[in-house]
Structure 1
Amino acid sequence: MGRSRIVSILLVAVLLAAGCQNPGADEDDGSLRRIVYLTAFGATGRDAFAWVAQEKGYFRDAGLDVEIRLGAALSDNMRTLAAGRADFMNSDLIGGVISAGQGTFTGFRVFAAIHQQSLVSIVTPADGPIKKPADLAGKRLGAATASVNQVLFPAYAKATGLDPAGVTWVNAAPAQVPALLASGRVDALCTFLIGRPGIEAAAGKQMTVLPFSDALPDTFGNALTTSASLAESDPDLVRRFRDAALRGLADTLADPRAAAELLHERNPASTVAAAEGEITLMAPLTTPTGGGPLGSIDRDRLTRAIAMLTDAGLFAPGLTADEVVAFPLTPGS
C-alpha cells in the first residue's frame, strides 16, 4: 500500500473520530434558519415544550436554529414582535384579542392554540370565605401588573353577575404575586390556574380555584403567535415552526416530569415540582373541544369569544376572528 493511500485512510479515520466525539459536530453549519422565540413569561412549566422541541431536535429537523428567550408581560412581548426582534412567541390569545380590539397591537397573527381554555382563574384559600364568584364582592384581589387576568375580569364579572367595581386590586410584579396572598395582603389572586401548586407552597395551605372558563367557556389560553407580515410572506416557515413546537408539546404532555427536569436544567431558577405541577394541570386544557388536532383553533368559538368581550364593553364591535388568527396556518387547516 502506497504512502499516500495510508495517509488518506488515517485522515478519514481521524475525521470520523472527530465527528463522533465532538458534541458540536452537528451544530448549525449555516443551513438552518435562525429564529428568535419568546416564552409567554419567564421559564415555567407551560413553556417547557419549547425546550423539549429544541432538545429532541424537532426544530433542527424543521430546518430551524431556534433561540429561546424569556418573555415578559404580553404588551412587552407584543412590542418585541412588532419591532422585529422576535419571530414567534407564546402569548395569551384572549389578551391578543383585547389588544387588537382596543387597537393597541394589531400586527400579529395566532396560528396554533396551546390551551383550548383560558387559564385565568380566581385562586383563594380553601378554608377562606370565597366559595363562588359572588363572594368576591368587597374583597381584595391580587394580580400581576398589566396582566391579561385583570383586563379580562370585567367580562368574568358580567357573566357571573358581579359588579367589577366591587373589588379592590393590589398589583405586583409576576414573581411576587403569590406572596400577596401568603402575606395576607389580599383575599384571593386573579392568576393562572396552573400556578396553584406554587401558590399553595408559598401559602402553606390548600387553594380553591374558580376558573374563568366556567363562566366564559369560549375563551382560549396561550397560543403560538407571529407577526402578520411573516405569516403572509413565509407561511412555510410558520408551519415548520408550528409542527416542531407542537411535537415538543405532545412529548411534554406525555412526560411532564422529564419536561420539568429539562426546564430546570436549562433554567436553574425554575423548580421541577412546580413545573411538573403546571404541566399536569394544563394537560386537560390542551385537548380541542371539537376533536381536532392538537393546536387547532375553532373559528366559531373564537367569534363567540370576541362577541362576549365586545358585549362586556372591553372594545367596540367590528373585530373579526381573521384579524387575530391566520386560520390557513392552523393545524388541520
Structure 2
Amino acid sequence: MSVFSRLAARSAALGLGLGIAFGAVAPAVAATDIKMVLNWKYQGPQAWFFMAQDKGYFKDEGLNVTIDQGEGSAASVIKVASGAYDAGFGDVNALIDMAAKRPESAPVAVYMMYNTPPFVIAVKADSPIKTPKDLEGRTVGGPANDAALKLFPVFAKTAGVDAGAVKISNMAPNLREQMLLRDQVDAVFGYINTVAFSARLVGLDPDKDLRFIKYGDHGMDLYSNTIVFSRKFVQEHPEAVSGLLRAVNRALNETVADPDAAMDYVMKREPLLNREIEKERLLATLQVEMNHPEIKTIGFGDVDPERLKRTIAVGVQANELPRTPEPGEIFDNRFLPARDQRASSL
C-alpha cells in the first residue's frame, strides 16, 4: 500500500470515529416560537411575563416567546383569534362572546389570572351618580376595546339600567382619567386598578377623589383576564402550552415572594414608568383581582366549573348570544402545572 493509500485509510478511519462520536450527541431541537400579546401597555401587573422571559424560564421549556403590548383585554382575544398571535392575556368574557358567535375561530383559555371581577364605572367623589340607575341621561367614556365597556350591556340589564339612556363616548386610553377630571364625561369604564393608578398620574387621589361602581357588587361575579391560546396552536403544540404555563407560574410564585425584585423586569421594559406607582398597582392586583377565595381549594390558575357556567350564562342572556358555549369550550385546565405548584392565596 502506498503512503497515499495508508493516509487515505487512516483519514477514513478517523472520520468514521469522529462520525460515531458526534453521532452520539443528539442534535439540538429547535425552540417552539410563541407570539404573545398582553392586555395593555407595560405595567406592574405583567411582571411575571417579563421575568419568565428574562430569567430564561421560557427557554428552559424549549420556547422562544416574543411579547407585545396590548390595546385592551378584549382586543387581545380578537388578535389571537385572527391568527396574528399564538397566545394572549385577555378577557374571558370577550372569549365567551366570540365562542358563541364564531366557535371555530375562538381561542381557548388555559390559565385564569384575574379571578375576581375588576370591572368598574368610576365617577368623581362629588358626582351625583350614586347608583347604577343614576347613569341614565349621563355620558360614560372609555376606550373602544375596554372590557368593562364591552360588558356594559350585561351590567345594565343585571343592574336594571336602561342602557339606551346612557351615552357612550370613546376616547384614547391615556385620556380617560383626564377627561373625567375635566368633566368632559360624567363617568368612565375601566378596571379598578387601571383607573385608580392612572388617576394618580394625573394628580388625583383615587381614595378621596373617586368612587367606583363595581360590577361585582351588582350580580356579576365574573372571571376576567386569562391566558388564551389559539385552538390551532393547542392542537399542534400541546407541550408548548404546558411549558409556557409552567414558566409563567414559576415567575408568578417568585413575584409574590419578592414584588420589588419583580419590578426590575417591568422597568427594564419601560424605564419611564413610575416604579413606585407600578409596584403599588402590582400589589393591588395581586391582593384584589387575583385573590378570589376559591383558589384555596382549586389552586391559582384554575376555575370553578359552576362559577364559569354562571359567567357564561350572564354573557349569553344579556348579549342575546346565538348559543351557549360549554365550559369546556372556554377553559381547558389540562395544561395547568400540578396543583402543589400553584398558589393557594396571593
Deviations 1:103-146 (A, max 9, x none): 38833111001110222111122232233323322222111113
Q: For residue 157 of structure 2, what is the aligned residue in structure 1?
A: 158
**Superposition map of 1:266-305 within 5 A:** 266-284=269-287, 285-290=289-294, 291=296, 292-305=298-311
| Counterpart residue identity of residue 54, structure 1 | Q
Over 3 Å counting, the alpha-carbon distance change for 1:97 and 1:274 in structure 2 is farther
Q: Contact conserved, 2:97 with 2:316, CA < 8 A, in 1?
A: no
CA distance, structure 1, for counterparts of residue 112 and residue 129 of structure 2: 31
| Counterpart residue identity of residue 262, structure 1 | Y
Q: What displacement does 1:278 show? A: 2.0
Q: Contact conserved, 1:231 with 1:326, CA < 8 A, in 2?
A: no
Deviations 1:239-258 (A, max 9, x none): 11011112222333333333
Is structure 2 residue 327 aligned with structure 1 residue 321?
A: yes
Q: For residue 6 of structure 2, what is the aligned residue in structure 1?
A: none
Q: For residue 77 of structure 1, what is the aligned residue in structure 2?
A: 76
Q: Contact conserved, 1:246 with 1:294, CA < 8 A, in 2?
A: no
**Partner-residue secondary structure (3-state), 2:234:** helix
CA distance, structure 2, for counterparts of residue 289 and residue 182 of structure 1: 35
Q: TM-score by structure 1 length?
A: 0.83
Q: For residue 23 of structure 2, what is the aligned residue in structure 1?
A: none
**Partner-residue secondary structure (3-state), 2:255:** helix
Deviations 1:211-234 (A, max 9, x none): 212224431111001011222232
**Partner-residue secondary structure (3-state), 1:67:** strand
CA distance, structure 2, for counterparts of residue 302 and residue 169 of structure 1: 28
Q: Of residues 256, 265, 269 in structure 1, which corresponds to 2:268?
A: 265
Q: For residue 249 of structure 1, what is the aligned residue in structure 2?
A: 252
- Bigger drift between 107-116 and 250-259 goes to 250-259
Over 3 Å counting, the alpha-carbon distance change for 1:83 and 1:306 in structure 2 is closer
Is structure 2 residue 193 aligned with structure 1 residue 190?
A: no
Q: TM-score by structure 2 length?
A: 0.80
Unaligned runs of 5+ in 2: 1-27, 340-346
**Partner-residue secondary structure (3-state), 2:323:** coil
Q: Contact conserved, 1:93 with 1:220, CA < 8 A, in 2?
A: yes
**Superposition map of 1:167-246 within 5 A:** 167-195=166-194, 196-202=196-202, 204-205=204-205, 206-246=209-249
**Partner-residue secondary structure (3-state), 1:46:** helix
Q: Contact conserved, 1:293 with 1:331, CA < 8 A, in 2?
A: no
**Superposition map of 1:40-189 within 5 A:** 40-74=39-73, 76-103=75-102, 106-189=105-188
**Partner-residue secondary structure (3-state), 2:90:** strand
User: What percentage of residue pairs aligned between the two structures are identical?
Assistant: 24
Q: What displacement does 1:308 show? A: 1.4
CA distance, structure 2, for counterparts of residue 43 and residue 204 of structure 1: 21
Unaligned runs of 5+ in 1: 1-28
CA distance, structure 1, for counterparts of residue 76 and residue 273 of structure 2: 21
Deviations 1:243-299 (A, max 9, x none): 111222233333333333421221234332332232122113213432222111222
- Bigger drift between 104-113 and 61-70 goes to 104-113
Deviations 1:131-175 (A, max 9, x none): 332332222211111332212012112222222122211111222
Q: Contact conserved, 2:77 with 2:91, CA < 8 A, in 1?
A: no
**Partner-residue secondary structure (3-state), 1:312:** helix
**Partner-residue secondary structure (3-state), 1:210:** strand
Name which one, 1 or 2, has greater alpha-carbon Rg: 2
**Partner-residue secondary structure (3-state), 1:318:** coil
CA distance, structure 2, for counterparts of residue 279 and residue 146 of structure 1: 22
- Bigger drift between 132-141 and 164-173 goes to 132-141
**Partner-residue secondary structure (3-state), 1:116:** coil
Over 3 Å counting, the alpha-carbon distance change for 1:313 and 1:254 in structure 2 is same
Q: Contact conserved, 1:78 with 1:105, CA < 8 A, in 2?
A: no
